[in-house]
Structure 1
Amino acid sequence: MDGDSTRELLKNIDAYVADLYAPADEALTAALRESERAGLPQINVSASEGKLLQMLVEISGSRRALEIGTLGGYSAIHFARALPDDGRLISLELEERHAEVARRNIERAGLSERVEIRVGDARDALAGLVENGEGPFDLIFIDADKEGYPEYLDWSMRLSRPGTLILGDNAIRGGSVMDPDDPSSRAMREFNEKLAKDPRLSALVLPLIRDRIDGLAIARVLEP
């Protein structure tokens, strides 16, 4: 099977799973449409991965979640929907323009009371969370600049408790992490290795299908 045929098969499999288990609804469709209209990069999680993230919140019983990288709020909607009525998601976003779009999308979904978006450099925001004693979080999702992942993991550990789930998107990057030749892939390889070798974590990378193979890193904190 040639490359084009493989990509087409992957897209068809992803569409089959999404149509069956994660059909779009009005709020999610509007969030994608609004993000595209605003010129945001089309790098949000897939519908199937969004459903997986939502299920992980539900399965873990998380009440306090932290997201590093908001973009248009598509994944934040999935997280917030799974939180209890008194649950809270703090989402960190570098770009004010992205945050504005996300806030509109989250408000349209009726979830503004559960989500707080903080704008600025994630490293500064994470340091502030630690300094202000705002941890621990039950679940932390990393989906921001790839070169920052190793450092974001270090901060996440400081904001965790035993049982916290730490998730990292784009852990496979089409296989480039196996033989990285660019800074982003090298950083993701380092991130994966830190997860695998840290005795305080029990971790695995779950391969995911979109138009290429990617993956979601899932780690359970044993000891912060």
Structure 2
Amino acid sequence: MIGGGLALYESEEAWREVDAYFVQTLTAEDEALVAARESGRETSMPNAEVAPNQGKLLALLCQMIGARRVLEFGTLAGYSTIWLARAVGESGQVTTLEFDKDNVAIARANLERAEVHDRVEVLVGPAADSAQRLIEEGAEPYDLVFIDADKPSNPQYLKASLALTHPGSVIVIDNVVRNGAVTDPGSADPRVQGVRAVLTDIADDQRLEATAVQTVGSKGWDGFTLIRRSQ
């Protein structure tokens, strides 16, 4: 029992039911978002997109800081990209990086359906390479970065993000709990080691203020790191 005598629900079924209630009550999806989420099954990582309430959280973060330029590592079907593109508004710009050409084709169709394709640039190829080209081309700094690509490369993505942002920019790194495996320093999973390495890099960088939050819901047990660049 907890607090006011409420039962402690621990099942994944209950987590999904709560997420469904929150989405239905506060974060209803329109047809374009539903289509994008469902088309995620056709990508190289089925069902890997953020949950609807997490997509809304990204959008709210953009709006709270007045973000007009967003960089996204990992596009898949473009579900989170649509949330971000809508949040930056018609005058904003989202640059999203995706390795898989088939995923890009799916994402572009979803972006057109959502009528945000004119404010989204999809760069195809390894995300680290695409980010390096942006750095070399002197891209205008981004206000918010969402890192949700291959986890072993998280340290590279953070380093690139710091070269492409400004003081006051916000960086969000997804999937940092790994079903609790993040606490295991001896894990043989390169995804776990990628998360642990980037968390160490964040902690060691005096320019960054950060926290990490565990979540449970339709995506199981996971969480994200929220970072603000202060310098």
The TM-score range, normalised by the shorter chain, is over 0.9
Residue 90 of structure 2 aligns with an amino acid whose one-letter code is: D
39 and 147 in structure 1: CA distance in 2 versus 1, 3 angstrom threshold: closer
- Alpha-carbon contact 1:196-1:204 (below 8 Å) kept: no
- Alpha-carbon contact 1:13-1:209 (below 8 Å) kept: no
SS at match of 2:11: helix
Superposed, 1:12-161 pairs within 5 Å as: 12-37=17-42, 40-161=45-166
Identity of aligned residues (%): 39
1:189 aligns with 2:212: no
Residue 217 of structure 1 aligns with an amino acid whose one-letter code is: T
Give the drift of 1:20: 1.8
- Alpha-carbon contact 1:69-1:143 (below 8 Å) kept: yes
Alignment partner, residue 4 of structure 2 = none
Distance 2:44 2:99 in 1: 16
Distance 1:20 1:191 in 2: 35
> What runs of 5+ residues in structure 1 fail to find an aligned partner?
none
TM-score if structure 1 supplies the norm length?
0.93
1:200 aligns with 2:203: no
1:176 aligns with 2:181: yes
Residue 187 of structure 1 aligns with an amino acid whose one-letter code is: G
Residue 127 of structure 2 aligns with an amino acid whose one-letter code is: A
1:163 aligns with 2:171: no
- Alpha-carbon contact 2:70-2:143 (below 8 Å) kept: yes
153 and 34 in structure 1: CA distance in 2 versus 1, 3 angstrom threshold: same
Distance 2:44 2:139 in 1: 33
Distance 1:39 1:85 in 2: 30
SS at match of 2:226: strand
> What runs of 5+ residues in structure 2 fail to find an aligned partner?
1-8
Residue 13 of structure 2 aligns with an amino acid whose one-letter code is: E
146 and 86 in structure 1: CA distance in 2 versus 1, 3 angstrom threshold: same
Distance 1:194 1:184 in 2: 15
7 and 85 in structure 1: CA distance in 2 versus 1, 3 angstrom threshold: same
SS at match of 2:112: helix
Say what the alpha-carbon RMSD is for the aligned residues. Answer: 1.8
TM-score if structure 2 supplies the norm length?
0.90
For residues 137-186 of structure 1, the C-alpha deviation after alignment (integer angstroms, 9 at most, x for no partner) is 10111000000001110111111100011110101121110115211111
Distance 1:110 1:42 in 2: 23
- Alpha-carbon contact 1:207-1:215 (below 8 Å) kept: yes
Distance 1:123 1:34 in 2: 25
User: Quick check: 23-32 or 203-212, which moved more?
Assistant: 203-212
Distance 2:229 2:31 in 1: 35
Show structure 1 runs of 4+ deviating over 6 A: none
Give the drift of 1:44: 0.4
Say which of 210, 226, 231 aligns to 1:218: 226
Distance 2:104 2:74 in 1: 10
Q: How many residues align?
A: 221
